[in-house]
């Protein structure tokens, strides 16, 4: 490692900024990060970025609720980060955006 090399965290932060700014191009795989310091292979960097996302999520609070799908009326108990909008949760029937909390109290 070179002495003036960026730390792993700095790399990830820069990478996240890059992704935010070029999200569509990166997703379409027509744009690669223009970082000379990246000797690593592109996929490894992406994986590392995902690890970072998981690390952040680990610090979030989770909520456990009984949900019901308004499309198929399936009920299930789900655990998800409290910041997750209910409209993003998916029922096993494949419907996204139909889940609401039943209000069922949960045992401690």
Q: Which residues bind Zn ion (CB under 5 A)?
A: 69, 71-72, 74, 91, 93, 95
* Nearest distance from C-beta of residue 73 to Zn ion, angstroms: 7
Nearer to Zn ion, 18 or 76 (CB): 76
Using an 8 Å Cβ cutoff, are 75 and 67 in contact? yes
**Distance between CA 70 and CA 108 in Å, rounded?**
26
Bridge partners of residue 96, in order along the sequence? 90
- Residue given tokens 């700014």 in the structure block: 21
**Complex with Zn ion: residue 48 or 74, whichever CB lies closer:** 74
Provide the minimum distance between the beta carbon of 65 and Zn ion in the complex, in angstroms, as a whole number. Answer: 15
Closest distance to Zn ion from the beta carbon of 63 (Å): 19
Among residues 55 and 90, whose Cβ is nearest to Zn ion? 90
For Cα atoms 7, 8, 14, give the angle at the middle one, nearest 5 degrees: 90
């Amino acid at each position: 490692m070179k002495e003036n090399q960026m730390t792993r965290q700095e790399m990830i932060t820069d990478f996240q900024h890059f992704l935010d700014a070029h999200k569509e191009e990166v997703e379409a795989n027509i744009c690669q990060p223009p970082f000379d310091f990246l000797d690593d292979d592109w996929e490894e960097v992406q994986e590392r970025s995902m690890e970072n996302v998981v690390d952040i999520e680990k610090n979030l609070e989770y909520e456990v609720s009984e949900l019901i799908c308004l499309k198929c009326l399936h009920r299930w108990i789900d655990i998800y980060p409290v910041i997750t909008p209910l409209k993003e949760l998916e029922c096993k029937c494949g419907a996204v955006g139909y889940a609401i909390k039943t209000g069922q109290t949960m045992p401690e």
